[in-house]
Each structure stands twice: as C-alpha cells, then as structure tokens.
Amino acid sequence: MKSFRARILPGRMIGWALLLLPVIFSLHSKLSAQEYPYFVTYSQEMEEPGNLDLESFNVQGNPRGGNSFLGSDLEFEYGLKGWWTTEFYLDGQVTQNESAIFTGFRWENRFRPLPREHWINPVLYVEFEDTSADKTLREVVGHDANDDFLVPNWLAREDKEREIELKLILGSNVRGWNISENFIAEKNLAGDPWEFGYALGVSRPLSLIAKAHECAFCLEKFRVGAEMYGGLGDADGFGLHDTSQYLGPTMNWTSPKGVTVGFSPQFGLNNYSIPVLFRFSVSYEIEQVIDRFRRGAK
C-alpha cells in the first residue's frame, strides 16, 4: 500500500509543473543566457542578482539487474547578491514496475569570495538535503554504485538521508572555454563517515561571435563540452577503489525565447557504474523577478 505522499505528490508536482511552464514561457522575456551544459558539475557562475532560474533536470538509467528509472528535480535558483546564490530543489523519481515517488528536497547556497575574475575562481557551496530513495544522481560520492539502484522503492524509502554537502568549486574561463572542477564532501547526519567525490566539466560555445541578425539555430546558441564525475571513497578509505565513474559529452541549445534545453549521454567507466545514463534538462530564467511583482502590484 503506497503512502498518501507517494501516490499524490508526484502527480501533483507534474501537474504544477505543467501549469507553470506555459505561464513561464509566455512571460515577456528575450534573455538567451548561455548556460553551461553541465548536469553534475557546478561552474563559478553565479545567478544574476534578482533573477530566478527555473530548471528541470532529469536522468534516465537502466541499472544492471534492476528496473529502469527516471529521476527528476525541479530547481528554483535565485541570485540574492552578486556573490551569493541560493537554490531550492524538489526531487522525485519513477521506477519501472515499482512506483513514482517524491523523494525529498535540497537547499543549497553558493558563495563567491573573490569579487574579480582570476585564472581560477573559487566558489564555496553548502547544501542540506532531506531525501530518501533519491535517483537524481546530481552527484556521485563515496561508494555509490549500480547496486544501490536495485533496492526497491518501498524499502529504499525507509532509509532517510539527511545530509550536509560541501563543495569547493573552481572555475576558469580561457578563450571562450569554461573549465570547472568540483571537490565534494558529503556527510550523512545519522553518523556515516564523510564521503568524497569530484566532478569535472569543460565546455565552449560553437561560435564566440554573435550574428547581426536574430536566428534560432546560430552556432553561438549551442554550447558543447564533456563532463566526468565519480566517487572518491570515504573517510575510512579514500581513493578510486570500489567507486563508480562516469564520462560523457554534453550540449545545450538556447532558444530565442530564452528556454535552454540540454542533453548528455553519460557512460559508466567500470562495473560499479550504471552502464549508461541519459540526462536532459530544460531551464528558463526570469529576470528581476521581484521587480515584476512590484510592477504588477502597481
């Protein structure tokens, strides 16, 4: 017997998302910000102050010996200051032959300590998450492996994960290329040891020069790159031993209306990894969102 939350919340989330999307996309906005096409790696980029970025990240996978799944999260990213971005996530997943469930929430804050651009720009990241049976794979840490995805949802939901996650994000922009490196440390507040992971991303727009005329499929609207990430063990055994690792190309396209669509097939590099993950995303940025409400009130 599924719980009320398990039965109602996923449908409700999808319903709200479907209701919200046309409203969002009909807002008068021309922004076509080129987001980096990363799914796991964070760059040094902060959200512009006052802007709200709405994003849906999804991952589909077929773990060896288990059921196919689709993990999703809905993100609300807001630029509080030029040096401070806050983000709230709602997570859910659907597993074939099992159920569709709401898996929890995350709240993260990113701080950029250095005001100017340098060769390497650090950003500090702090996140609290309260999830169970999570399959969004927004980071891989410790000894996360294919077998974790074989646990049925009804059992996985019993395992509540309240975790603190810290990241050191390093990012560089060189001749149009973005190179980002993340070092991840995650601690389950229930008392497990610290787990570690990493993520690396590199990307570039297909063209650095904008066309003089408006066009939907100009080269500068596409950004391509590659992403690699995986676990680094835990405090009891640091290293690559018994960890899963992924690598894959990644790309996105920003429409003239400002909607950015991303896609990445990512391949497991060893037997601990899920063989292939297909990731896709949709995002949209609303500029100066509070000002819009103020103007509306007047």
Partner 1 sequence: MKRRTGTCLASLLVLGSCVLLFAGSNGAWMAEVPPKDRTRTNPYANQPDAIAAGHRIFVDHCAHCHGADADGTKKRPSLRSEHVQQEATDGDLHWLLVNGNRAKGMPSWIKLGDPEIWQVISYVKSLH
Q: Which residues bind partner 1 (CB under 8 A)?
A: 30-34, 36, 45-46, 48-50, 81-83, 112, 115-117, 173, 175-176, 178, 205, 208-214, 220, 287-288
Element housing 224 (H / E): strand 222-234
Residue closer to partner 1, measured from CB, 46 or 202: 46
Residue closer to partner 1, measured from CB, 55 or 234: 55
Residue closer to partner 1, measured from CB, 67 or 288: 288
Which residues, at least 6 apart from 212, have a Cβ–Cβ distance to it below 8 Å? none
Residue that the structure tokens 């099992």 belong to: 98
The CA radius of gyration of the chain, in Å to the nearest whole number, is: 19
Residue 268 backbone dihedrals phi, psi, to 5 degrees: -70, 135
Closest approach of Cβ 115 to partner 1, in Å?
5
Distance CA 157, CA 131 (A): 9
Closest approach of Cβ 287 to partner 1, in Å?
4
Give the number of other CB atoms < 10 A from CB of residue 145: 20
Residue closer to partner 1, measured from CB, 117 or 236: 117
In the chain, the largest separation of any two C-alpha atoms, in whole Å, equals 60
- Asked whether the beta carbons of 198 and 56 are under 8 A apart, the reply is no
Closest approach of Cβ 29 to partner 1, in Å?
8
Residue 96, classed as helix, strand or coil, is: coil
Closest approach of Cβ 259 to partner 1, in Å?
13
Element housing 278 (H / E): strand 276-286
Residue closer to partner 1, measured from CB, 2 or 257: 257
Closest approach of Cβ 21 to partner 1, in Å?
21
Residue 296 backbone dihedrals phi, psi, to 5 degrees: -65, -40
Closest approach of Cβ 284 to partner 1, in Å?
14
- Asked whether the beta carbons of 216 and 1 are under 8 A apart, the reply is no
Closest approach of Cβ 59 to partner 1, in Å?
25
Distance CA 103, CA 6 (A): 9
